[in-house]
Amino acid sequence: MTFPQDFWHGFRAGLPFLLVIIPFGIVFGVVATEAGLNISQTMGFSIFVIAGAAQFVAIQLMVENAPILIVLATSLAVNLRMAMYSASLAPHLGPVPWWKRAVVAYFMVDQAYAASILKYDDSPQMTPRQKFAYYMGVVTPVCPMWYVATYGGAVLGDVIPPTLPIDFAVPITFLALIVPMLRSLAHVVAALVSIIGVLVFSFVPFNLGLLLAALLAMVAGAEVERQITKRVAP
């Protein structure tokens, strides 16, 4: 039976992410409780939403007293990348039974996607069933620790000195994820348009400027890629 072997390979690939997930989860627990959420609401975010970046954006907008629809729209915009992950995983995991794809969807976090797609591209001989086992292996250490770390942060929040610049763990984690993504000119252009766009549109309320900047950046990245491909092709 191949299930345990692929599962454990995935598990081993997922383990290093704990060094990211644990501090990130603790910070979310601290930030959410400091914003005024109780423990069950904080845990509700990490269990139902299970997406660090979107959770932080939601908390930030809630603190700014943004309207509920704006909180939802902006946070979901941050999670639009999940649709990209979903599209990217579909050729690999599309053939597995529907309920398994439903489970994959729930656990779809940046680390699970990144580790799995790397493995699938390296090992094209894997069956969909083995790919599913690998994916579940990756998320097994990562996702439960996201809940545990959130709880730890929510409970320990008060003992962390407020002067410590712990808010900055978020940009640090994101920089660590973004920099390796800048692997082509098109990716760099998209990132630059995103940065400039968000500054230009900073007058737009409730982070909607981020939405505009992101849409422009996606178009810019896609267009650069199209131009480069056109030039390379005879």
Partner 1 sequence: MTLGTVDIWLIILGLGVGSYLLRLSFLGIVGSRDLPEWLLRHLRYTAVAVMPGMITPMILFPAATGGQFDLVRMGAAFATIAISLWTRNATLTIFGGAATLFALHFLLAA
Query: According to CB under 8 A, which residues from 102 to 131 bind partner 1?
Result: 102, 104-106, 108
Q: Determine the residue type at 222.
A: A
**Chain residues 30-49 in contact with partner 1, contact rule CB under 8 A:** 35-37, 41, 44-45, 48-49
State the minimum distance, in angstroms, from the CB of residue 138 to partner 1. Answer: 14
Q: Determine the residue type at 219.
A: V
**81 is a contact residue toward partner 1 (CB under 8 A):** yes
**50 is a contact residue toward partner 1 (CB under 8 A):** yes
State the minimum distance, in angstroms, from the CB of residue 29 to partner 1. Answer: 14
**Chain residues 59-78 in contact with partner 1, contact rule CB under 8 A:** 60, 62-63, 65, 68, 71-72, 75-78
**Chain residues 164-223 in contact with partner 1, contact rule CB under 8 A:** 164-165, 167-182, 186-187, 190-195, 197-199, 202, 210, 213-222
